[in-house]
Structure 1
Amino acid sequence: MDTRRTSGQSRLLRSRSLRSTRTGGVFLAAAALLLSACSSGSSTGTTAEAALAALPRSTPSTLAPYYGQKLTWRSCGVPGFECATMKAPLDYAKPASGDVSLAVARKKATGPGERLGSLLVNPGGPGGSAVGYLQQYAGIGYPAEVRARYDMVAVDPRGVARSEPVECLTGRQMDTFTQTDMTPDDQRETNQLVDAYQHFAEGCGRRSPELLRHVSTVEAARDMDILRAALGDQKLTYVGASYGTFLGATYAGLFPERVGRMVLDGAMDPSLSARKLNEDQTAGFETAFQSFAKDCVRRTDCPLGGAHTTPEQAGDNLKAFFRQLDAHPIATGDADGRKLGESLATTGVIAAMYDEGAWEQLREALTSAMKDKDGAGLLALSDSYYERDPDGKYTNLMFANAAVNCLDLPAAFSTPDQVEKALPSFGKASPVFGDGLAWASLNCAYWPVKPTGAPHRIEAKGAAPIVVVGTTRDPATPYRWAQSLASQLSSARLLTYDGDGHTAYGRGSTCIDSAIDAYLLRGTPPTEGKRCS
């Protein structure tokens, strides 16, 4: 699918999943997770004159019932956590036309120390379950002092996971979709790819016709303000990773006076057109692969070359392997008979680029596939990325991802011919992944709902200090996006992590963690220009 937005889960949860499987979110779906691209028609990819306008400070009377609702908390099967259901208008322009039900979870502050309010977390996507992230990681893995002082809270955005999920394809249909050839060699294969995109879009339109029109990031940000009020907080304290930074920045742009302590980790740049977003991210994955390859060839177990192999040569070797799989997929031992072709293999490699902690797993998987003709390891990485379980069931991650992306921005490309013309620039950005990521940008061309958004700047004038975090070799959200967002937000402080992987908070850098913790606990933002490693 389309490439924009990022991984669907933050690197924190993603790496935890990858490390726990050890056997290991089509390349189409992988790309969709990464970031879905769109084009404003601008050659530079920026719309400097357009800025997100703040909403009126007063709450419209038509929304008063939503802002005045009281949440009824109940046990939800995970020790220490409570769950509730929140209502929001399906259509903010017509609040009386119907509701959408949103799943909320929290873990109350444990003490000691004065309670600081609620800390809302979002792991990214779009499509990642914030409730799942809270229960599996943030509610137990965030620093103890933060959990002691804050009620940890999450809401699945509209259309995601537990919040009236967008649905598109069955598990078997998704299996077919994920194996579609993403680097067509002739007209027949191009037609097959287009058919796959059309079938996916038609499934979404058929199974979620009304919801597809109302899953934009602006609407999700407005839902967060209703939740803030329902929690009894005057201001929103928030940590968003990956796509969660776009969601958080959108909230700040709409409600600048209601911003409390806000951390945007692995930042996106809302001012870029889709094509520019896609090319930047394509280059980001190339940078990440070069780091992996440089580390790999120094090791005796590297399947991409030995000590005298350059990272560029390692990339050539990987591309040659992908071409072999394109012609001759290999066995995986999968109960459903799936073989490892180029698309699934590429997804598996991309999945490991999010966290250098997965590099060993990737070396092992590549060794098994390239030397032993056993594709199980790469298939496991791919399945983890798509959130496919051993029974062949998928979460709705990929469906929600496409639905939000295709609504937020116009399609990156309208026809296969446009993709063909863009292949050289994508190939320059990444010799390894460029072709596939270019074709992955085509899916929104066939979407059944017209987009409602466009690229724009977010200034959030009047907001409290906002900490924007960027990682210098982040594959999914390139560092320059953090620099750009920090330059747009009127109160931003840029915090830089000089390292690999996707996002920075909770990745082992004491410097990063202590700076963010100090901000969350004491309201002290990092010094201007602070860098960590």
Structure 2
Amino acid sequence: MSRLLTAACALLLLSGAAACSTTPSAPLLEPHSERSGPAGPVPAGLERYYGQQLNWGPCADYATSSADRTAFQDRALECARLQVPLDHAHPEGRQISIGVLRKPATDPDQRIGSLLMNPGGPGASGMSAAASLGPALQNTPLGTRFDQVGFDPRGIGASEPAVRCLTDQEWDADRLDSDADPSPEGTAETEREVREYSGKCAQRTGTDVLAHVGTRDVVQDMDVLRSALGDPKLTYLGYSYGTRIGSAYAERYPGNVRAMILDGAIDPSQDAIDEQVLQGAGFQRAFDSFARWCTERRDCALGADPARATAAFQRLARPLLAEPVPAGDRKLSYTDATTAVIQALYAQNMWPALNTGLEELARGRGTVLLTLADSYYGRDADGTYSNITDAFNAVRCVDDPRVTDRNVLREADRRYREAAPFLDDGLPANSAMDMCSFWPVPVTGEAEQPSVSGLPPLLVISTTGDPATPYDAGVHLAEALRARLLTFEGTQHTAFLQGDSCVDQAGIDYLTELELPAEGTRCT
């Protein structure tokens, strides 16, 4: 049932900023209760949420992965649960909780406020992102002057209830099924499986929760959090899908915005098919860049000619459709092999591992590539999965209009293969509907050009060779929001706080002093 993923997850990979060690020298933050809100405008009927008390304490119990269990031991971090209504239109109804992690500003006298952040996905943990970025920001103006705040959007990570569709064992089994058969029988089998998946999501999560996990609801939670933290206006850093959250917040609450950096933009006016095809083209460009890097090495698994790299990869990967190869006590499928490549194309520091994995695949083994794919799916070494993929599917199925016309689906598959030939399995285009066609709750989002007035100046960062969120999407978002565009020339997904001093200084100056970089600024 590999067609569960309608597009590659567009998330920030914090591989360069991971915090894997505790900081015993930091002062221990004692558990305490804090009522800092309400701050700023409060919608009628939501007063008790906007002015709620937050009970801060250690973060260890909020961990949902092995990496979190290490990072959340940091004594400088504190965590709390924000209560929000499941349905903001009916605040007297069911409550749910949002996991929140905070690293307080180290210079309280110079404190500006809170810097809320979201790393994308949809489905990635903002709590994990804030913990990972904390050490890198410690001695910067962002660390000294802002409380760094990460939250897990509703249904995700430590937030409760969490979206859950498949068990760990079911995910392992699913990844071995590539669902590549385009015949009527194969299409029927694929659709039976995705219909079953949708049913399990409804059964294990609840349709009331699934109906309210979309971006529309997340931005309302974020405004509650802004107020409960005591910030009259929001300062926000959003990566990838986090830019969709940011632009939706800006449209709904323009007067509540202080500053926003939107890095790795999703074009809010683009339909899901065009977005997927353009993303495929982006990954092909990144694959071609990897191929040029690889073919200059004597040990390149794809040979010596970058023009033949796509065909070389196809020769390595396509046999997996018929027979997965051993990978320790598991097996590497075609789905996992292509997912591993996508994972590695997010950042150049993963290219050596990708080449090693392809060399291993040429010898009939798949351990390295399976490890890369596990990272993409949020699978820990102990076999447990985060809910990132289930949450990704749940959010996309309520955010994006559904496509059920088989001719449109077949043409979309053909266009995707043309845009990303390294991912072409060599079989005819497929017209099978995905799980969103059978989703048990209606769509709550729509693709539209933002129409916003009363916004302060925002900063959009777009990377020329971004594989997951193509450069032009950032250009379009900046135009729609009348924001300043900062261009980074590179091949990676997102750029801010990832080591480029030009990008980092521009972003820090903007967030702290509200000073935008000069029009047309490009960082290389």
Output the TM-score relative to the length of structure 2: 0.88
- Cα offset, 1:429, TM superposition: 1.0
**Which residue matches 2:150?**
154
Partners of 2:139 and 2:387 in 1: CA distance: 31
Partners of 2:414 and 2:278 in 1: CA distance: 14
1:420 to 1:4, Cα distance in 2 relative to 1, 3 A: closer
1:112 to 1:230, Cα distance in 2 relative to 1, 3 A: closer
| 1:521 aligned residue (495, 507, 512) | 512
1:444 to 1:15, Cα distance in 2 relative to 1, 3 A: farther
| 2:404 aligned residue (392, 396, 414) | 414
- Cα offset, 1:527, TM superposition: 1.2
1:58 to 1:74, Cα distance in 2 relative to 1, 3 A: closer
1:245 to 1:434, Cα distance in 2 relative to 1, 3 A: farther
Question: Runs of 4 or more off by more than 4 Å in structure 1?
Answer: 14-20, 434-441
Task: State the SS of the aligned residue for 1:190.
Answer: helix
Partners of 1:460 and 1:439 in 2: CA distance: 38
Can you list the C-alpha shifts for 1:34-82, whole angstroms capped at 9, x where unaligned? Answer: xxxxxxxxxxxxxxxxxxxxxxx95332111111112121122322111
The question of 1:60 aligning with 2:57 is answered no
**Which residue matches 1:41?**
none
One-letter identity of the residue aligned with 2:10: S
- Cα offset, 1:526, TM superposition: 1.2
The question of 1:291 aligning with 2:294 is answered no
Q: Is contact 2:277–2:412 with CA below 8 Å preserved after alignment? A: no
| 2:88 aligned residue (72, 89, 92) | 92
Partners of 1:5 and 1:157 in 2: CA distance: 19
**Which residue matches 1:400?**
391
The question of 1:316 aligning with 2:314 is answered no
What does 1:414-433 correspond to in 2, within 5 Å? Answer: 414=404, 418-433=408-423
**Which residue matches 1:458?**
450
Partners of 2:352 and 2:8 in 1: CA distance: 26
Q: Is contact 1:71–1:85 with CA below 8 Å preserved after alignment? A: yes
1:3 to 1:482, Cα distance in 2 relative to 1, 3 A: farther
Q: CA RMSD in A?
A: 2.2
Partners of 1:423 and 1:455 in 2: CA distance: 20
Partners of 1:265 and 1:439 in 2: CA distance: 33
What does 1:115-264 correspond to in 2, within 5 Å? Answer: 115-135=111-131, 137-142=132-137, 144-145=139-140, 146-164=142-160, 165-209=162-206, 210-264=208-262
| 1:328 aligned residue (318, 323, 327) | 323
1:409 to 1:339, Cα distance in 2 relative to 1, 3 A: same
- Cα offset, 1:390, TM superposition: 1.9
Partners of 2:220 and 2:108 in 1: CA distance: 32
Q: Which 5+ residue runs of structure 2 have no aligned equivalent? A: 22-39, 61-72
1:445 to 1:480, Cα distance in 2 relative to 1, 3 A: same
1:528 to 1:105, Cα distance in 2 relative to 1, 3 A: same
Partners of 1:5 and 1:251 in 2: CA distance: 24
Q: Is contact 2:18–2:133 with CA below 8 Å preserved after alignment? A: no
Q: Is contact 2:406–2:433 with CA below 8 Å preserved after alignment? A: no
- Cα offset, 1:416, TM superposition: 5.1
| 2:377 aligned residue (374, 386, 404) | 386
Can you list the C-alpha shifts for 1:277-325, whole angstroms capped at 9, x where unaligned? Answer: 111111111111111111111111111111xx133x1101111222111
Q: Report how many residues are paired.
A: 485
- Cα offset, 1:386, TM superposition: 0.5
Partners of 1:249 and 1:440 in 2: CA distance: 32
| 1:347 aligned residue (315, 330, 339) | 339
Q: Is contact 2:261–2:458 with CA below 8 Å preserved after alignment? A: yes
Partners of 2:81 and 2:5 in 1: CA distance: 31
Moved more, 174-183 or 242-251: 174-183
- Cα offset, 1:6, TM superposition: 3.5
The question of 1:278 aligning with 2:268 is answered no
The question of 1:502 aligning with 2:506 is answered no
Output the TM-score relative to the length of structure 1: 0.87
**Which of structures 1 and 2 has the larger relative contact order (alpha carbons within 8 angstroms, sep 6+)?**
1
What does 1:22-33 correspond to in 2, within 5 Å? Answer: none
Task: State the SS of the aligned residue for 1:284.
Answer: helix
- Cα offset, 1:112, TM superposition: 7.3
- Cα offset, 1:440, TM superposition: 9.2
Task: State the SS of the aligned residue for 1:131.
Answer: helix
1:93 to 1:5, Cα distance in 2 relative to 1, 3 A: farther
Q: Is contact 1:473–1:501 with CA below 8 Å preserved after alignment? A: yes
Q: Is contact 1:107–1:139 with CA below 8 Å preserved after alignment? A: yes
One-letter identity of the residue aligned with 2:372: L
Partners of 2:409 and 2:212 in 1: CA distance: 28
Task: State the SS of the aligned residue for 1:106.
Answer: strand
Can you list the C-alpha shifts for 1:235-290, whole angstroms capped at 9, x where unaligned? Answer: 10111111111111111111111111210111110001111111111111111111
1:407 to 1:63, Cα distance in 2 relative to 1, 3 A: same
Q: Is contact 1:205–1:212 with CA below 8 Å preserved after alignment? A: yes
Q: Is contact 1:19–1:358 with CA below 8 Å preserved after alignment? A: no
One-letter identity of the residue aligned with 1:291: S
The question of 1:368 aligning with 2:360 is answered yes
Q: Is contact 2:10–2:469 with CA below 8 Å preserved after alignment? A: no
| 1:445 aligned residue (424, 428, 437) | 437
The question of 1:267 aligning with 2:250 is answered no
One-letter identity of the residue aligned with 1:167: R
Task: State the SS of the aligned residue for 2:336.
Answer: helix
Partners of 1:531 and 1:19 in 2: CA distance: 32
One-letter identity of the residue aligned with 2:58: S
- Cα offset, 1:464, TM superposition: 1.1
Moved more, 418-427 or 286-295: 418-427
1:15 to 1:299, Cα distance in 2 relative to 1, 3 A: same
1:4 to 1:368, Cα distance in 2 relative to 1, 3 A: closer
Identity, % of aligned positions: 40
- Cα offset, 1:326, TM superposition: 1.1
Partners of 1:202 and 1:169 in 2: CA distance: 10
- Cα offset, 1:5, TM superposition: 7.5
Partners of 2:382 and 2:432 in 1: CA distance: 26
Partners of 2:377 and 2:478 in 1: CA distance: 31
Partners of 1:186 and 1:253 in 2: CA distance: 44
1:423 to 1:72, Cα distance in 2 relative to 1, 3 A: closer
Partners of 1:352 and 1:19 in 2: CA distance: 21
Task: State the SS of the aligned residue for 1:105.
Answer: strand
1:328 to 1:17, Cα distance in 2 relative to 1, 3 A: farther
